[in-house]
Amino acid sequence: MSPISILHRHRVAALLGAALIISPIVASFAESPNDVRNAVGTTQTPVAGVTAPNGSFAPIVAADKPAVVTVTTVMKGQPDVMSDASPLDGGGSPFDDYFRQFFGDQGMPGPKAPPQQSQRAEALGSGFIVGADGTIVTNNHVIDGASSIKVTLDDGTELPAKLVGRDAKNDLAVIKIKADKPLPTVKWGDSDKLMPGDQVLAFGNPFGIGTTVTSGIVSARGRDLHSGPFDDFIQIDAPINHGNSGGPLVDVSGNVVGINTAIYSPNGGSVGVGFAIPSDQAQKVVAKLMKGGEIEYGYLGVQIQPVTQDVASAIGLDHPGGALVSSVTEGSPAAAAGIQTGDLITGFAGQEIKDPKDLSRAVADVSPGKKETLDVWRNGKAMQLSVDVGRNGDDAQTASVSGDSGAPGNGQGARLPAIGLGLMDITPDIRQQMNLPDNQRGAVVAAVNPDKAAAASGVQPGDIIIAVNQMPVKSARQATQAIAQAGKSGRKSVLLLVERGDAQI
Structure confidence by residue, pLDDT tens digits, 285-313:
999 899 876 677 888 888 888 887 877 77
Contact 356, 399 (CB under 8 A): yes
Question: When comparing pLDDT for 445 and 294, which is higher?
Answer: 445
Q: Kindly report, residue by residue over 110-161, the tens digit of the pLDDT.
A: 444 444 444 567 788 999 999 999 999 999 999 998 999 999 999 999 999 9
The single residue of 84, 154, 171, 358 carrying the catalytic annotation is: 171
Element (H, E) at 312: helix 309-314
The single residue of 191, 215, 219, 245 carrying the catalytic annotation is: 245
Q: Decide if domain 1-295 falls under CATH 2.40.10.120.
A: yes
- Percent residues over pLDDT 70 in the chain: 71
The single residue of 8, 141, 360, 375 carrying the catalytic annotation is: 141
Contact 223, 103 (CB under 8 A): no
Report the pLDDT averaged over residues 267-271: 73
Global model pTM greater than 0.75: no
pLDDT confidence tier of residue 219, bands split at 50, 70 and 90:
very high
Average pLDDT value for the chain: 74
What CATH code would you report for 297-401?
2.30.42.10
Report in angstroms the alpha-carbon separations of 451 from 418, 448, 468, 492, 495: 11, 9, 22, 17, 19
Report in angstroms the alpha-carbon separations of 120 from 5, 16, 88, 146, 206: 8, 19, 12, 10, 21
Q: Is pLDDT at 327 greater than 60 in this prediction?
A: yes
Contact 23, 54 (CB under 8 A): no
171 catalytically annotated: yes
pLDDT at site 399: 58
Give every CB contact of residue 233 below 8 A, 6+ residues apart in sequence: 222, 223, 224, 225, 261, 262, 275, 276, 277, 278
pLDDT at site 395: 42
Q: Is pLDDT at 220 greater than 70 in this prediction?
A: yes
pLDDT at site 265: 73
Please name the fold of domain 414-504: Pdz3 Domain (2.30.42)
pLDDT confidence tier of residue 341, bands split at 50, 70 and 90:
confident
- Percent residues over pLDDT 90 in the chain: 29
Give ranges for CATH 2.40.10.120 in the chain.
1-295
How do beta strands 158-167 and 390-392 pair?
A: unpaired
User: Distance between CA atoms of 445 and 462, rounded to whole angstroms?
Assistant: 5
**Nearest to 465, CA basis, from 442, 483, 446, 486:** 442
Count CB neighbours of 196 within 10 A. 11
Report the half-sphere exposure of 470 (CA within 13 A, side-chain side): 19
pLDDT at site 173: 93
Count CB neighbours of 14 within 10 A. 24
User: CA 391: distance to chain centroid?
Assistant: 20
The torsion angles phi and psi of 213, rounded to 5 degrees, stand at -125, 135
User: Distance between CA atoms of 335 and 349, rounded to whole angstroms?
Assistant: 18
Report the pLDDT averaged over residues 167-192: 93
DSSP secondary structure string for all residues of 389-409: -EEE-TT--SSEEPS------
141 catalytically annotated: yes
10 catalytically annotated: no
| Torsion of the alpha carbons at 358, 362, 365 and 368, rounded to the nearest 10 | -140
pLDDT at site 298: 85
Contact 299, 336 (CB under 8 A): no
Element (H, E) at 136: strand 135-138
pLDDT at site 254: 95
Contact 71, 127 (CB under 8 A): yes
User: Distance between CA atoms of 223 and 310, rounded to whole angstroms?
Assistant: 24
Question: When comparing pLDDT for 447 and 57, which is higher?
Answer: 57
Give ranges for CATH 2.30.42.10 in the chain.
297-401, 414-504
pLDDT confidence tier of residue 487, bands split at 50, 70 and 90:
low
